[in-house]
Homo-oligomer: A and B are copies of this chain.
C-alpha cells in the first residue's frame, strides 16, 4: 500500500550539512520502513534507524532484518556497512541515573555510526555528589559533553559549572507526577543557572549526537580553513 510517492530520501544531506539522513521509525509502519530500505539498498546507501523497537524489527522483511545491527536498549539500528570508530573519544555522554541509559545509548550509537569515539559515564546524579566529583576529570578530558537527565535534571547545571566544554543537555522522560513526560527536566535545563548550556528535545539522544557532530565538524573546519 506504501507507494513510492510517499517518501523522498534526502541522499544529499551528508554533503550539505555533514549529517546523513536517518529514519525515525516511531511514526512509520514496518511496510513503510521496508519500502525505504528497498530504496536505500537500491542505491547502496547506509542508514541509521532510530526509535525502532524489537517488535517492529521482527515485522520487517527477512532480507532487511539480516542486514540490521539492532540495539534494543537504545532502539537504534545500523543498516549497511559500519564505519570504523575513532580510537580517541571526543564526546563524553553522561547519564544522571540508570534509567537515563537508553537515551544516552541512542547518542552513543549515533556517534559510533558516524565513526566518532564516545565514552559513557553513568549514574552520577547530584543526590550523591561524590559520584560526579570522582568522574569530573574524566568528563573534562572530552572536548564535547552530552548530559542526559530526567526528573529535576539538576546534573547539567552542576556539570556546566565545572567544565569548560560545550554541554548539550538531553532532558529525559524519566519520572512521574510533575516529572512525567520530561517537561520539568526540559524546563529545568533551559532555565539553568550555568551559562552556555544548550538543549535538545526530550529523549532526543540522536539530536544531541548530531549537535556534537556539527560541533566536531566545525572545530575541524576552524583548524583547516584552507580545506574548506
Contact = CB atoms under 8 A, between A and B. Distances in A.
Category for how many chain A residues contact B: 35 or more
A18 to B, nearest CB: 4
Contact of A154 (B10, B124, B154, B166): B154
Contacts of A191: 151-152, 175, 177-179, 184-185, 201
B27 A174 contact: yes
A2 to B, nearest CB: 8
Q: Tell me the number of copies of this protein.
A: 8
Given A123-B6, A218-B215, A198 B195 contact: no
B217 A219 contact: no
A178 to B, nearest CB: 4
Given A19-B196, A157-B154, A217 B164 contact: yes
Contact of A5 (B17, B122, B161, B178): B122
21 contacts: A1-B73, A12-B130, A16-B164, A21-B128, A22-B195, A97-B193, A143-B222, A151-B193, A158-B158, A167-B214, A171-B177, A175-B191, A176-B201, A176-B204, A177-B190, A186-B190, A187-B188, A190-B201, A195-B210, A196-B213, A220-B222
Given A127-B195, A166-B215, 15 more contacts: A6-B95, A6-B98, A17-B195, A17-B196, A36-B98, A127-B194, A129-B158, A167-B214, A176-B201, A178-B183, A184-B187, A184-B190, A197-B200, A197-B207, A215-B218
Q: Which 5 A-B pairs have the closest CB atoms?
A: A196-B210, A177-B202, A27-B99, A198-B198, A219-B219
